[in-house]
Amino acid sequence: MKKGIVYLLGAGPGDPGLITVKAREVLSRADVVVYDRLINPRLLELARPDAELIYVGKEARLHTMKQEEIAALLVDKAKEGKMVARLHGGDPFVFGRGGEEAEVLAAAGVPFQIVPGVTSAVAVPAYAGIPVTHRRFASSVAFVAGHEMPDKGQSSLDWPRLATATDTLIFLMGSGNLGFIAEQLMRNGRDPQTPAAIIHRGTEPAQVVVQGTLANIVEKSRQAGLKPPVITVIGGVTTLRPILQWFDNRPLFGKRVLVTRTRRQASALSKLLIEEGAEPVELPVLEVGPPPDWGPLDKALGHLRNYDWIVFSSVHGVGHFFQRLNAKGKDARALGGAKLAAIGQATAQALEDQAALRPDLTPQDYSSAGLLAAFKDMGVAEKRLLLPRALEVPPELERGLRGLGAQVEQVAAYQTSTPKEIDPEVKNRLLKGEIDVITFTSSSTVRHLLDILGKDGASMINKATVACIGPVTSRTARDMGLRVDVESEEHTIPGLVEVMAEHFQRR
């Protein structure tokens, strides 16, 4: 039987980008992932599709599993010959239970390894623009567990020594005890006017920072309605925040943005949104599959050498065209002397990635209108053009090419459909008006989201900022009763994110 092993992993403080390279590698190979309450769900996407995911989250007065049960679970899974990834928030050895779990594993003779993580004690203040040490303000720092109950009798903390021991004090997990902490520090010699800051959900798009002094930070926290998880920083370093603030002053910070692209395509847009400070909320509203009848495309594939141009208007068109070509036992050599046109840089890149081909024409204006203008300048009268496109694509491009005198054959290479199941939690957030921006990257995404939402869909969508990738998508949105607030001139995903950022900066 294969011998099992347990990896105690630090997941970092919340931003999924802060997980270490080694932790990512372990997650991608693990048979079992055991994870805590504050783990970013995106990290679970790094696990194998067939991995067993076990939630053992704990919060005040509500434990999914007792600590002893969690440790026993790790032992049992390892003894089954499994590779177990035990995912701790932050670092497993900084106010985590990793040390206790390692002791149990060692006593049971179970092999284990420790993969340190980025601790929230340092990362969260950094994301708030607060260095924990600074040459002018702090040469020493102390990390303190803030969840010690004030009514437990004898405190394990030496408050007279702790209050003035270091320049910076950082309390983790102390939301409910903030009043007790402030009182003990002031009673034992810390100046009530010492600058202080509380950071809620640090490193995440929902981050909130409240600044004050030791004397008033409790009241300011109460007025702001801050709830766990929070980290409290006490010391002169907190006064640097107005100068060093960087994370929460990005143009899309805190905006919840609905991403309606297919599941495979969503990540590219989501990554750019995260870089600008937004929280992407993915709700793929369409699925892409084969057309109902391969006949027209197969017929075209049988005489590709007869075409002067093959025009690709989407990444999906490229993918399905070459998948079908390969299924027929052919490769790119079957294209003969046909020239290739691609609308958009992403479509051009798909040609290069999937068939090692570079288009002969990519119009500067990434749109059907841009392609028509380019072909008008070149002259395509009497030329034979093949357009492998979506089944339900609008007819403007085909009509425009015929108007230039071209002989056009448009065939369905794929079709889109509304997913049978969507994430009910995301749909509920949309229904409750918790989405700030809704993005549409094609006319199909507009139609399918409205189909999902039903008769009141337009009114729900219009409560948010509506952002469209170009004039064709915007026209579809307006025709279907939507208000378009943002439209990108550059019809690309980066262009869409850029114009959204500009929109909110102006506001």
- Residues carrying an active site annotation: 36, 58, 173
Pair of tokens at residue 501 = 């950022």
394-397 long-range contacts (CB < 8 A, ≥24 apart) are 394/443, 394/472, 396/368, 396/472, 397/311, 397/313, 397/368, 397/371, 397/372
Q: Which amino acid is at 9?
A: L
Please count the other Cβ atoms lying within 10 Å of the Cβ belonging to residue 45.
11
Cis-peptide into 229, omega within 30 deg: yes
Give the contacts of 320 (CB within 8 A, at least 6 positions apart). 288, 290, 388, 413, 414
Which residues lie closer than 8 Å to 123 by C-beta, 6 or more apart?
Answer: 12, 13, 15, 18, 202, 203
Angle among Cα 438, 442, 448 to the nearest 5 degrees reads 70
Residue 415's contacts (CB-CB under 8 Å, 6 or more residues apart) are: 288, 289, 290, 291, 292, 390, 391, 392
The position carrying tokens 């798909």 is: 350
The rounded distance, in Å, linking the Cα atoms of 132 and 137 is: 9
| Number of residues that this document lists for the chain | 507
Closest-CA residue to 465 (of 429, 434, 439)? 439
CA angle 286, 288, 290 (to 5 degrees): 145
* Residue whose structure tokens are 């950094």: 126
